[in-house]
Chains A and B, each alone.
Chain A
């Protein structure tokens, strides 16, 4: 969970670095993006950089599809994810459609 909120690796190898890459993609500041890109290549390799960017880009698409269509959270997921949602702090999002 720590890696998802950007405070640690969360038990995932290079978790914090990957979270920083995601943040740099979101912020879109060229120098910061180049710096974290170089760090990912150095520590994880170029293929990992490409694959991580591909996954994040995919979720820039999926979040826009979900939010643009008013997609509600799936039945069965709501109760199961209650604690995780509280930890991440997403329950206050405007995008909490009909869930």
Chain B
């Protein structure tokens, strides 16, 4: 990791988690190949780097831009990448239904959401510290496993979920366990380990107290206009 502020001391577990997740981006998922997943990552990075962000009602795929990083990336996937990166608080059930109607199945869509969200985490971390984005690995060959956990069904979320325990947001990616594991790896390192989430409201993490941690979390959610 290169930095313009070499005095920064990044906790080893954060660096380890981010590098492990990067390797997982390059692996085949449940619905996308390793190359397609890295294409989604590249498209998310392109969205993050854009100086001319389209408003939420304009689909990025309709604009005159260079072709997506991976030619086979469906236009609907490109639109999800840009909308989720720049306007997450504007998403509605009707919008989700329209994406599914364009041929992106609920499984591929959920995996896509997980990936885009992880890239927003890892790359915004680097950007905020004045660091270069981490280099991407080469794609791992192989086909998606198309595995669907038992008893996956649409329940309270738009997307199908598995009947796992925990807060609704931790169930959101349960239909794509590989992405839920990546999410947990980042959250455990960067926020609070899941085991301490509700059981220990006193202890801090690293250099921050728990109230400071929760303030940063709440303020970030407010700025993203996230009701949850």
Given A12-B212, A64-B84, A74-B167, does the pair A56, B91 have CB atoms closer than 8 Å?
A: no
Flag if A65 contacts B219 (CB, 8 Å).
no
Given A50-B10, A66-B169, does the pair A57, B190 have CB atoms closer than 8 Å?
A: yes
Which residues B103-129 have CB closer than 8 A to chain A?
Answer: 110, 113-114, 116-118, 120-122, 124-125, 127-129
Given A50-B129, A67-B91, A73-B168, does the pair A95, B159 have CB atoms closer than 8 Å?
A: no
Which residues B175-228 have CB closer than 8 A to chain A?
Answer: 183, 186-187, 189-191, 205-209, 211-213, 215-228
Flag if A69 contacts B125 (CB, 8 Å).
no
Given A52-B208, A54-B191, A74-B168, does the pair A65, B114 have CB atoms closer than 8 Å?
A: yes
User: A4-34 toward B: CB 8 Å interface, digit per residue (1/0)?
Assistant: 1110001111110011011111101000011
Which residues A37-69 have CB closer than 8 A to chain B?
Answer: 37, 44-69
Give chain B nearest CB distance to A37 CB in angstroms: 7
Flag if B225 contacts A65 (CB, 8 Å).
no
Flag if B89 contacts A95 (CB, 8 Å).
yes
Give chain B nearest CB distance to A32 CB in angstroms: 11
- Checking B118, B208, B227 against A95 with a beta-carbon cut-off of 8 angstroms, the contacting residue is B227
Flag if A51 contacts B116 (CB, 8 Å).
no
Interface size class of A (residues with CB under 8 A): 35 or more
Q: Identify the closest chain A residue to B187 (Cβ).
A: A58
Assess whether B14 is interfacial by the CB under 8 Å rule: yes
Given A60-B124, A61-B117, A68-B88, does the pair A51, B207 have CB atoms closer than 8 Å?
A: yes
Q: Identify the closest chain B residue to A57 (Cβ).
A: B125
Query: What chain A residues lie within 8 Å of B172 (beta carbons)?
Result: 65-66, 69, 71
A56 to B218, CA, bound (A): 9
Assess whether B64 is interfacial by the CB under 8 Å rule: no
Q: Identify the closest chain B residue to A38 (Cβ).
A: B5
Query: What chain A residues lie within 8 Å of B85 (beta carbons)?
Result: 64
Interface size on B, residues (CB 8 A): 70
Assess whether B90 is interfacial by the CB under 8 Å rule: yes
Assess whether B93 is interfacial by the CB under 8 Å rule: yes
Query: What chain B residues lie within 8 Å of A98 (beta carbons)?
Result: 93, 156
Flag if B190 contacts A58 (CB, 8 Å).
yes
Give chain A nearest CB distance to B149 CB in angstroms: 15
Query: What chain A residues lie within 8 Å of B156 (beta carbons)?
Result: 72, 98
Q: Could you write out 28 A-B pairs with CB less than 8 Å apart?
A: A3-B219, A10-B215, A13-B212, A15-B215, A25-B124, A25-B128, A46-B9, A50-B8, A50-B9, A50-B14, A51-B207, A54-B125, A55-B190, A56-B217, A56-B220, A57-B121, A58-B187, A59-B216, A61-B118, A62-B169, A62-B221, A64-B117, A64-B224, A67-B224, A68-B116, A69-B113, A93-B89, A99-B227
**Residues of chain A whose beta carbon lies under 8 Å from any beta carbon of chain B:** 3-6, 10-15, 18-19, 21-26, 28, 33-34, 37, 44-74, 88, 90-91, 93-99
Closest 7 CB pairs of A and B: A70-B158, A61-B121, A68-B113, A57-B125, A63-B226, A59-B220, A47-B207
